[in-house]
Amino acid sequence: MYTPRSFAEDRPGRLHEFIEQHSFGILVSAADVIAASHLPFLLDRDSGPHGRLTSHMAKANPQWRELDGCEVLTIFHGPHAYISPTWYADANTVPTWNYVAVHATGTLRVIEDHEHVREIVRRTVDTHEATMPVPWSMDSVDEDFIDQLLEAIVGFTIDITRLEGKWKLNQNHDATRRERVIHALQQQSGDHEHQIAELIQNTLNEGHPTP
């Protein structure tokens, strides 16, 4: 990922937190063909130097069949927003797009063991049901029915070898311009615009330097 120094985020804790908050990622591979799947991921922060990702996909999805032991890329993306040059109130400025993203590169290992796959699915369910008013549990469904569904999926882990974060939030502009962008974004109706405004404000609060 092309990341100028002013936009780079390399603090492991912040990158891990972002993955957990935006855990529906894109698995990209280039074995026989370039392939991409949109999947829910779990993160084990303390496995290996950069963490380990765990997920599952349909066995009918051909992507997994040539990936055991291969290097793959998983993309996690957050809010994004168009930035109009009119908001800077200065001459000789151009449009841009602000966004936040994390790329995790690592080695994929396929898991077909039935009980291991069951545990992956259970962890995924429990993680996302935890915030529900009345959490659903796999134990509430007939076990034979669950077994049939598990036969149709395959699990996998990715031991992360490289983590890259990009917080593109107008850090290459001075504080006055960034404050104008924050104000303009706050006037927009979309959630992404409001989230980007908050993230830009965070860079100001942290005293993020202008190059």
Tell me which CATH homologous superfamily contains domain 5-173: Electron Transport, Fmn-binding Protein; Chain A (2.30.110.10)
pLDDT (tens digit, 0 to 9) for every residue of the chain, 211 residues total?
999 999 999 999 999 999 999 999 999 999 889 999 999 999 999 998 999 999 999 999 999 999 999 999 999 999 999 999 999 988 889 999 999 999 999 999 999 999 999 999 999 999 999 999 999 999 888 989 999 999 999 999 999 999 999 999 999 999 999 999 999 999 999 999 999 999 999 999 987 554 4
Cβ neighbours for 110, distance < 8 A, ≥ 6 positions apart = 64, 67, 68, 154, 155, 156
Domain positions in the chain are 5-173
CA–CA separation, 107 and 24 (whole Å): 19
Do 96 and 211 contact (CB within 8 A), yes or no? no
